[in-house]
Amino acid sequence: MVPPEYYLVLSAAIFCIGLFGILTRRNALLFLMSVELMLNAANINLVAFSYVWGNVTGQTFALFTMALAAAEVAIGLGIIMVLYRNFGGVDVTDATTMRW
Amino acid sequence: MTTKPQLKLGSHLVPGLAAVALFVVMAAAFLTASFPQVQGFPADANITASIGYAMFNLDFGDVPSESFLVAFIVIAVALDVALDGTILLARRESGTAEGGLISDGGRRLKQTLTGSETDETEGEN
Amino acid sequence: MAGIFDFVPAIVLLPFVSFLVALAVGNRMPKGGAFAGIVATAGSFLLSLATFFTVSQGQTYNQTIYTWAQGLDGAVTLEFGLLIDPLSALMLVIVTLIALLVHIFSLGYMNDEGETGLPRYYAGLGLFTASMLGFVVADNLLMAFMFFELVGLCSYLLIGFWFREPGPPSAAKKAFLVTRFGDYFFLVGVVAVFATFGTAAFAGSESFPHLAEQALAGETSVNTFGFAAETWFTIVGLLVLGGVVGKSAQFPLHTWLPDAMEGPTPVSALIHAATMVAAGVYLVARMYGFYALSPTALAIIALIGGFTALFAATMGVVKREIKQVLAYSTISQYGYMMLGLGGGGYVAATFHLMTHAFFKALLFLGAGSVIIAMHHNENMWDMGGLKEKMPVTYYTFLSGSLALAGIFPFAGFWSKDEVLYETLIHGLGGSPILLVAYAMGLLAVFFTGFYTFRMVFLTFHGKPRSQTARDPHGVRWNVKGPLAVLGVLAATTGVVNMVPVEKLLGIKGIDFLHQWLDMSLDGLTAHHYAELTPYSSAYIGGEATTVAIGAAVSLGLAIAGAGLAYVLYNVPEPTEHTDKLGGIKTLLYNNYYQDEYQVWLANSVVRPISRGADKFDQGVVDGVVNGVSSVSLFSGSRVRRIQTGVVSNYAALLTLGLTVLLLGFGLLGGWFQ
């Protein structure tokens, strides 16, 4: 029996690694990967609590999250293509037109 | 010749400190919190089958669950929409040189019309 | 039963209709709408007469006819209503009669002289008559105030009738502003009355004079805002008196009236002699039950009246223009009325109000006739010898002058004498302040006699002093008719109240006006007022002796004044004697520098204050507002910098925000404790 705290700390660690990537990288593709990490951190939580409560709802949700992650990546890749076309690169700091 | 990945340190890592701080706070929160007794699954339960039944609102699973038929359908639609959206974003228009959607806030149109190269948006500094 | 009282609103509405008619179609009517006005005022006059006779049968009428703001849960209710009692019935007859005569006279003064803008003129007259009549029949103070203001507005419109010349618009503005200054206090007084009593009705058991009386007797309680009841009633009374002083041209707000002579002469007769100026005095008479409760207010009214009577009379002595003399005599005569009211002579003041309305309208119309004859030259030193050329004008004018000077047996003698008599006996009865006012009033009698006959002699006697006076312009029936009617009235109106005769000869029952004003509603009768006033009477010798002495003294002074005028000016070639006055002459010519003083007040006192207020407004109030806007503009332009458009920055902010939130919740939830 692994206590739930361990799962939670693992999930927090993965989430923060993903976040770290988003905060320090400028490449849009790396952004997508980091977001994947963060989503999977959430999945770890879902599965862990599914086990804690003895109920498969959390696991089912984790499946849905993966499906949505696929959708997100699909849209994200499309956006990155547009970004590349309009700004000549995939550096997210170039695309600053949507401000004040 | 292959290059090894190199750790690139520098000031661009400073924002990452926020992520580290968040991790510290979250870890502190988790480790100080108390959790209920872990119930676990029965040893002979078929978890995968239970998930499958739960997705289709069938009541044959060994492990209790909510029913997810509507969510399943909605996710299916969402995936479909995402696929179409991606195609829409990525398609290159055959007639125009640019193609696709222009999402640069009108910058290129403005340059075309005024001929000026500089971006005169207020407060650009 | 459809009695005559159901037609009382028509008295007010008829002239109003004539105003609308003259305004709308006056251009297409013969005589510029004059006939509409004449018909309307004649109708009003007949209805007023009918009302008058009905009232003389002992009937009165006090009815709300329209509620325009229903007060919920004890809030005040605002109403229009009619109050027809002997006082208002009498005033209705006076106002409609003079309005009618002035309309007819205007045919001669305006139409025959080829004036332009006649529809505007007759519309103004109609609206003025309607407003004044509405004021007369008002049954509550707020309605009275509203019509009071309308009267002021019409006065402005009519004084400024010849608005293309420089003088009239300025005079109109002055009249408007000065009376408005007084009306400001009146408005505050109206609000105070509402706040104190919850009603502004003049008559009935729920009226404010009645409530005030009960409050002083301790039978009921009203909101007196922390003052003693009598002090507070005095304050309220003096606030309303502000409007009276402005409208009735009492010192120190009298300065507008002489300037108002810039208007057409019939207007001067109607507005500045007989009716509008009477509105102030009428208002005091209307709410006399309230003033009678406050000895201080009465004393102030008496002092203002006595002082104004003397003050204005002395200024009238040196004037060169015939209308200016009349203007100052008007101020002076209204001073007598205020003196009468303040001295406890309610009937006497009403009596003087009535007689003065007749003889002053007569004098103004007579002056108008002279001015027509003189081709609109008003300078008396260019006249002279008009007696032979215009006998009707002369004899009627003489009748009015005798009445004004207070010579027996003309109307003015009886009324002025009664005012002075009432003041005298109440002053002897333990109110020395009234004796001061009486002395001033008595002295003014001498000046009145002097300036009146100076005017008569300069205008009509002697030899003509200019070419125009040698060959005056003739006047027609429409001028002579009104003059004749008023001339007879000025000579005979005194018979309605021959109190001295009654007292001296012991004939009972000829003080008709006393009896008339006693027939009013409960609480509005002359007897009731006499009981309310704080005065007691005392006599020199006996009642009859006092009457005789008072009458003899005032008549003697009047005759002395007239005699002095006779000696100085009833010569073929009169000369100016004003140089003998020395320094006083300049003082009088400049009206005691009242205008200069008020201008100084406005320029040196009010203007710096308003400049300071303006600075405060521009600097502090606007400064705060502008400061708030520029601070938010500036901070907005700075704060928006965090919207960099770089997605990493947004993510960093989100992260930091979440961290801070979690930390905050953790600390609140008991970490480190």
At residue C83, φ and ψ (nearest 5 deg) are -130, 105
In chain A, the residue whose alpha carbon lies closest to the alpha carbon of C653 is: A23
Per the domain annotation, does A100 fall within a domain? no
**With bands split at pLDDT 50, 70 and 90, how would you rate the model's confidence at B121?**
very low
In this structure, are strands C61-69 and C78-84 parallel, antiparallel, or unpaired? antiparallel
pLDDT for the residue numbered C631:
95
Q: For chain C (length 673 residues), average pLDDT per consecutive 10?
A: 74 88 79 81 90 84 80 76 87 90 85 77 89 89 89 88 85 87 90 86 81 81 78 88 87 84 85 80 88 87 89 84 87 90 87 88 88 80 79 87 85 86 84 86 89 87 79 78 85 79 73 79 78 78 80 87 84 72 72 78 86 90 92 91 84 91 87 68
Give me the interface pTM, i.e. the ipTM. 0.90
pLDDT for the residue numbered C625:
93
Q: For chain B, what percentages of helix, strand and coil (3-state, to nearest 5) are there?
A: 45, 0, 55
pLDDT for the residue numbered B120:
45
The answer to whether residue B98 scores a pLDDT higher than 70 is: no
Q: By the CB < 8 Å criterion, does B109 face chain C?
A: no
* pTM for this prediction: 0.71
- Give the minimum alpha-carbon distance from C639 to chain A in angstroms, rounded to a whole number: 10
pLDDT for the residue numbered A100:
61
At residue C376, φ and ψ (nearest 5 deg) are 60, 30
Question: Residue A73: which CATH number?
Answer: 1.10.287.3510
- Give the minimum alpha-carbon distance from A64 to chain C in angstroms, rounded to a whole number: 25
Residues in chain B with CB shorter than 8 Å from the CB of C671 are 28, 32
Whether residue C648 and residue A22 make contact (CB cut-off 8 A), yes or no, is yes
pLDDT for the residue numbered C72:
73
Residues in chain C with CB shorter than 8 Å from the CB of A22 are 648, 651
Q: How far is CA C91 from CA B43, C99, C135, C365, C514, in A?
A: 113, 12, 10, 20, 15
Number of CB atoms found within 10 A of residue C163's CB? 13
Strand-pairing partners, residue A91, are: A27
Whether residue C659 and residue B28 make contact (CB cut-off 8 A), yes or no, is no
pLDDT for the residue numbered C498:
76
What's the token pair of residue B68? 């997810």
Whether residue B108 and residue A86 make contact (CB cut-off 8 A), yes or no, is yes
Residues 17-46 of A with CB under 8 A from C: 19, 22-23, 26, 31
Whether residue B83 and residue A20 make contact (CB cut-off 8 A), yes or no, is no
Q: Which residues are within 8 A (CB) of C6 and not within 5 positions of it... i.e. 6 or more apart?
A: none
pLDDT for the residue numbered C672:
66
Per the domain annotation, does A96 fall within a domain? no
The single-letter DSSP state of residue C81 is E
Residue ranges making up the domain that contains A69: 4-88
DSSP for C235-275, written as a single string:
HHHHHHHHHHHHHTT-TTS-THHHHGGGS-HHHHHIIIIIS
Q: By the CB < 8 Å criterion, does B11 face chain C?
A: no
Q: By the CB < 8 Å criterion, does B97 face chain A?
A: no
Distance CA C521, CA C205 (A): 10
Label each residue of C113-150 as H, E or C.
CCCCCHHHHHHHHHHHHHHHHHHHHECEHHHHHHHHHH
- Give the minimum alpha-carbon distance from B121 to chain C in angstroms, rounded to a whole number: 13
DSSP for C361-374, written as a single string:
HHHHHHHHHHHHHT
Per the domain annotation, does A73 fall within a domain? yes
- Give the minimum alpha-carbon distance from C667 to chain B in angstroms, rounded to a whole number: 11
Distance CA C663, CA C632 (A): 31
Higher pLDDT, C112 or A43: A43
Q: By the CB < 8 Å criterion, does C660 face chain B?
A: no
Helix (DSSP H) and strand (DSSP E) numbers for chain B? 4, 0
- Give the minimum alpha-carbon distance from A44 to chain B in angstroms, rounded to a whole number: 14
Distance CA C388, CA C517 (A): 43
Per the domain annotation, does A81 fall within a domain? yes
At residue C67, φ and ψ (nearest 5 deg) are -105, 115
Confirm if C662 and B25 have CB atoms less than 8 A apart. yes
Strand-pairing partners, residue C80, are: C66
Per the domain annotation, does A93 fall within a domain? no
Confirm if A46 and A60 have CB atoms less than 8 A apart. no
Distance CA C41, CA C129 (A): 8
Which residue, among C351, C329, C326, has the nearest Cα to C340 in the 3D structure?
Answer: C351
Confirm if C325 and C316 have CB atoms less than 8 A apart. yes
CA A90 to chain centre: 18
* Chains B–C, number of C-beta pairs less than 8 Å apart: 28
Task: Render pLDDT for B26-46 as a digit per residue (tens, 0 to 9).
Answer: 998 888 888 888 888 888 888
Whether residue C648 and residue A98 make contact (CB cut-off 8 A), yes or no, is no
- Give the minimum alpha-carbon distance from A21 to chain C in angstroms, rounded to a whole number: 10
**With bands split at pLDDT 50, 70 and 90, how would you rate the model's confidence at B108?**
low
pLDDT for the residue numbered C262:
83
Residues in chain B with CB shorter than 8 Å from the CB of A27 are none
> Which residue in A12, A55, A87 is closest to B104 by CB distance?
A87
pLDDT for the residue numbered B109:
66
How many domains does chain A fold into? 1
Q: By the CB < 8 Å criterion, does B54 face chain A?
A: yes
Whether residue B100 and residue A81 make contact (CB cut-off 8 A), yes or no, is yes
Label each residue of C524-549 as H, E or C.
CCHHHHHHHCCCCCCCCCCHHHHHHH
What's the token pair of residue C31? 């005589």
pLDDT for the residue numbered A43:
95
Residues 604-643 of C with CB under 8 A from A: 640, 643
At residue C283, φ and ψ (nearest 5 deg) are -60, -40
Q: By the CB < 8 Å criterion, does C644 face chain A?
A: yes
Per the domain annotation, does A97 fall within a domain? no
pLDDT for the residue numbered B107:
65
Q: Which residues are within 8 A (CB) of C268 and not within 5 positions of it... i.e. 6 or more apart?
A: C260, C261, C323, C326, C327, C364, C368
pLDDT for the residue numbered B106:
63
At residue C138, φ and ψ (nearest 5 deg) are -60, 140
In chain A, the N- to C-terminal Cα span, in Å, equals 53
In chain A, the residue whose alpha carbon lies closest to the alpha carbon of B27 is: A9
Per the domain annotation, does A45 fall within a domain? yes
* Mutation to test the C interface, candidates A16, A37, A93, A98, most C Cβ within 10 Å: A93
**With bands split at pLDDT 50, 70 and 90, how would you rate the model's confidence at B123?**
very low
Per the domain annotation, does A72 fall within a domain? yes
